[in-house]
Amino acid sequence: MAEDREILREIWEGRLPVCFTLATEEVSTPIAPDPFYLMVPRLTYFPLVTDKVRRHFVRCVVPEKHDNEMWLEFEKFPLKWHYPIGLIYDLLVTNSELPWQITVHFDKYPDNKLLKCPSKDVVESHLMHSLKEADALKHKNHIMALMQERDHKQLWLGLLHDRFDQFWSANRKLMEHSAEDGFRYIPFRLYAPQLTSKPFMQYLVKSIENEKRLTLEDLLQRANLNFESKGPFQVVIHGIDLPLETPLQWISEHLSYPDNFLHLCIRYSSP
C-alpha cells in the first residue's frame, strides 16, 4: 500500500506549459490565428485535454478539413497520442526549453504512424487495456477482473476530470500486494531509441528475487544492453532523474502513470 501520499499527489499535479501553433501551410484565413497556450498534466493523454485547442484552430483551416482528426507534431515527429503526455516530453524534448512548442495539424493524418483516435472512448479503451496488462504482470489473480465496473469507471473518470481522490480510490486496489512479496512482476516500459529500433523494451522483472529487493540497476542489467556504450546516461520519469539504487517496488507504487506502468526513458547527456 503506497504510504507516501504526498508524492502521489505531486506526481499527479505535474504540469507542462505548451504553446500550440497551427501548421502554417494549413492556415486558410487571411490572418494567422494566435498561438494557444495551455498547461497540460503530465499524467494524461493529449486527446483528453485538447478540445479547446481544436476549437481555437479549426475555424482557420479550410471547411473540408473541419471534421478531420487533429494531430500534433514536435520537430517533425508526429506525437503518439496513446503515450502519456509526460512520457512524450521526457522522450522527445531534450533542450528543456519551455513552453513546449507543438504544431497542430488537421491535414494528412499520418495513419501509418499514429493510431486513430476518433473519440475519447478509444482513449478509455486504451487505458483499460493497459491497466489489464499491468494487473496481469503484478498479480496472479487479476484484480481488474475482480473489480466492479464501477471501479473501472472511477479510474477512467478520475483521469478524465483530473480528480486525484476519485482515481486513487480505485487505483489503491491495484497497488495492493502481500507485505513480504511485492508485485509478481513490475509493469514497466523502457525507452531507449538510441539503442534499439523497437519502440520500447519490455521484459519480466520481479520485485524481489532471492529475498533481495530488486533495484532500478537490476532492471537495467536484465535488458542485456550496454547502456554505457553511448556515454553517461540517466533514467528519467516525470522529468526526474532516478537514482539507480531505488527499489523497484517503491518506484512502481509511487511513480507509475495512471495506466499503472513505469515509462522509463534512457537519456544521454551528450548527443
Cell of 152: 473501472
Q: Residue 17 or 199: which CB sits closer to another protein?
A: 199
Cell of 52: 479547446
Spell out the residues 6+ positions from residue 75 whose beta carbon is closer than 8 angstroms to its own: 92
Least distance in angstroms from the C-beta of 44 to another protein: 18
Instruction: Give the dihedral sign, CA 120/125/129/134.
Output: positive
Least distance in angstroms from the C-beta of 32 to another protein: 31
H helix or E strand, kind and range, residue 88 = helix 85-92
Contact 60, 27 (CB under 8 A): yes
Q: Residue 47 or 56: which CB sits closer to another protein?
A: 47
The residue behind cell 506502468 is 261
Q: Residue 5 or 198: which CB sits closer to another protein?
A: 198
Least distance in angstroms from the C-beta of 133 to another protein: 4
Least distance in angstroms from the C-beta of 177 to another protein: 16
Cell of 56: 481555437
Least distance in angstroms from the C-beta of 150 to another protein: 20
Q: Would you tell me which residues interact with another protein (CB under 8 A)?
A: 80, 82, 111-116, 118, 122, 125, 129, 132-134, 136-137, 187, 197-200, 202-204, 224
Specify the pairing of strand 208-209 against strand 71-74. unpaired
β-bridge mates for residue 74, sequence order:
77
Q: Residue 46 or 57: which CB sits closer to another protein?
A: 46
Q: Residue 24 or 112: which CB sits closer to another protein?
A: 112
H helix or E strand, kind and range, residue 126 = helix 120-138
